[in-house]
Structure 1
Amino acid sequence: MSQDLRDLVRQEFEAAYGTTPIGVWSSPGRANLIGEHTDYNEGFVLPFGIDRRTFAAVGVRDDTRIRVGSTFSDEVAEIDIAELSPEAVDGWAAYPLGVAWALGQLGHADLAAVPGVDIMLESDVPVGAGLSSSAAIEGAVAIALAELWRLDLTRVELARVGRKAENDFVGAPTGIMDQMASLLGRDDAAVFIDCRSEEAEAVDLGLAENDLAILVIDTQVEHQHASGGYRERRASCEAGAAALGVASLRDVTVDDLPRAQQLLDDVTFRRVRHVVTENQRVLDTVATLASEGPTAIGELLDASHRSMRDDFEISVPELDLAVETAQENGAIGARMTGGGFGGSAIALVHRDLVSRLQVAVDGAFAEHGFAQPVTFTVTPSAGARRES
């Protein structure tokens, strides 16, 4: 599939722009094994890159224009690089163009001096499924522009570029987890990220040797990070931290929760409790993977979903049904993944049970009158790279 998409994006580039691209770069979507809504609270997360990627064919122009097209849209956005601003761009093109803008805003590139570029995008990362299609775009474009504009940037610096593009150009108040996972992913490993220090390390998952698979259940309920629910949760976390007199909820421990319950209203307390306990679950998952392996993390995944459902209130009936059905049909553990309000659930399952679980989920959704979900396995995979 990767080679097919790489060849397709080259062909589409040549058809759209009449020239041959200098190269093709790619970056994966991501699934989050555990650690939801902890990133912007300076906490801990454990995502991994997936084997579904966004490909960017890029060529250098002899002027200062930047054009962005994609095989999933008829629109080709075009603007002078020096005129890039959040007000000047909208729609899907804000993600790739925001990367170019952020490189300038962060002082990595002089946008008045760099050459223009043509970009064509292709992707098999589902949009709106909670698998970070946006970070995959940002990662592919960032690594391409860094090479073509001769910018000596680390993967973490490129992740910051993607975050700034998403926060300040697109207007989605996300943390740095998605971009870090997309840029730092590794085969059969997750990326353990301290979102305060931005330190990251690979954590072996051992799925292959244990004959395990991660099944994604895309509920087909689309979500958008720039919408109100995500913003409200972030605002609640910030209000809780302020009321507790700390810089962020990273500074609150499980032992502090009784005091927090006395000081906070019920809703704010439950938001805080989710973040605090989720941070601890991430640490416990990393420790359990090292000591006992992936078959022992099921209860942590299940507890994470309960917390998101009951305390953070970001699940929807389709996600709950997907998780419950997976649990009842042999999954080691299951949880929703991503920002919530739709998107996907993941289930850790023995490979020989994947088909049974898929059939069970399809049947449960039909019985409840929900649209048929899309289910597929994902493999933890390498981060952003040059393809050709």
Structure 2
Amino acid sequence: MTTRTQAPLDRLRAAVRKVIAMNQTSRVFTYFGAGAEPGVNARHMSADMRYNKTKETCNIRIVDYSAVSITSKSMSNTQLINLLSDPQVSEKPSWAKVRWIDIGGISWDVIKMLSIKYKIHPLALENIMHTHSKATTSKSDYYMQHLFLRILCLELRDKDSAIPLLEVQRDATFNVEALDPTANASFSSTRRKSKSIAYHNLESQDAAATVQVEALKHRDRVECNVFPLFILLFRDGTVITLHRTISEKFTKPIINRLARSDTLLRTTSDASFLVQSLLDLTVDKALGLAEACETKLKKFEKQLLLKPDVDTVGNLHILAGDINLHQRALEPLKRVIYGLRRYDIDRCLALLNLPPEEEKDAVVKGYISPKAQIYLADVFDHIDYVLASLDKVYNLSENLMSYSFNVRCSYDIQKNLSAYQLDS
């Protein structure tokens, strides 16, 4: 049997192809695998490879304002990218104290340009790209360049404002074997394929069961939207907000307040006060949700006191479960608000990484102004009231379910005793 010898040039080409394939595979595991470098570098090619499919038409509004003047303009994705690409045009006007960039929708081309222009921290960028479609908890992160807030918003759902949470986005997958054209099928690949089919079958069954449970829960439920709001506060007076609501309905109350020159937002012209107003708006929407839950509880209470039935108890169980989830979602927001009021200066001081003997004499300016901290105390009182209201409704719903169970058991026991006495 004769073996075919390759020419030196062919052997060189084959070796180069193998090296390229190994480098591509190494990059995949380095940037996308477990133990990868934390954060997202918007300038790196790996970020484009991973998030390039995250694109949508965003609703973008840029508002520049001071105590005496205000300008507001809407933009498309391309217009904002072109604006930020020009160093001179993209600068905030000299007369403006605050620039607010509000972006409805998540699109990688827009976020990438914002990250490069405003030097968004890689960890904050990773938070935005990984959690924009999930019901994650609220938190605050301090960086030298900016303050980053991730706020979980809960609001009553209107018929025209449904914001369903997306499934966990699948990262781009790469077939490593496809990089080597000489790779052939084997028994191990067949076994892996059978395992993959079994896994996807289990996954589809779990998804179907989840859909069925959710369909059962929609009988008489307080519908609400749950979505994260990302806020970035910079020291130069720039505030960037990102959220998944394409319409301007969510931020409309803030825009209306900015349009009037006699509001605190305009008279203070303070970027941190704009952040306080956004937090206040989030808590007010949660308050409306708590009031709707309380109204729904009164309806179920009346039905159970008049005539207990299984459907009402089921609705009450669903309400109690939803309230428990709402409490878990709002507790971290309460801690975030308290931290902004109490530890803003301390956290900014920690960023400087000064020796202990120099910390006492250091003059540090926090991200939150004294005026905004005063009004954050009112927001803290509101979130405390919301949580107390939800806790009250949850306890009453538990008591009503216990009452219904006791009434049903007493009725069944009495009925069985009566039947036993008749038989005897």
TM bucket (normalised to shorter chain) is under 0.3
**More relative contact order, 1 or 2 (CA 8 Å, 6+ apart):** 1
- Mark the structure with the bigger radius of gyration: 2
TM-score (norm 2): 0.21
The structure that is helix-richer by fraction is: 2
